[in-house]
Amino acid sequence: MEYSKLISVTGIAGLFELVGSKTDGAIVRSLDDKSTKFVSSRVHNFSHLESIEVYTVRENVNLVEVFQAMDKSKAALPSDKDDKAVKAYFQKVYPDMDFDRVYASDMKKMVKWFNILKANQVELKLNEEPPAEA
């Protein structure tokens, strides 16, 4: 499964693989239970994981960089129920994160999503764009 095909859908927990799109929505497959369903774009917004950025004290970074740091870290993942443990975890794993602008709910979502990605053995890398011709 490719990281570039994964999306988040507002109002629905978890991550989804984009199977197909229509003019009024998308057909998605849940990474949790593998169910496939149609999701209306009139009710929900879609965000490709590749397009999500995280605030840092320098320039914003792509979410995949945070996931890669989490993957390389030897620190145990905290429970996504404990705000303080999650914040302490990210202070260790990704200290450049701007903790004033990245909310605890965002960090908890990153932990949940990382667990889903690891359970589905998704390779954590951005899709390489072919170089544009001059």
pLDDT digits (tens, 9 = 90+) for 95-126: 999 999 999 999 999 999 999 999 999 998 87
Closest by Cα among 68, 48, 66 to 56:
66
What CA–CA distance (Å, rounded) separates 114 from 94?
14
The dotted CATH code for 52-119 is 1.10.10.1650
| Residue boundaries of the structural domains of the chain | 3-49, 52-119
Model's pTM, two decimal places?
A: 0.88
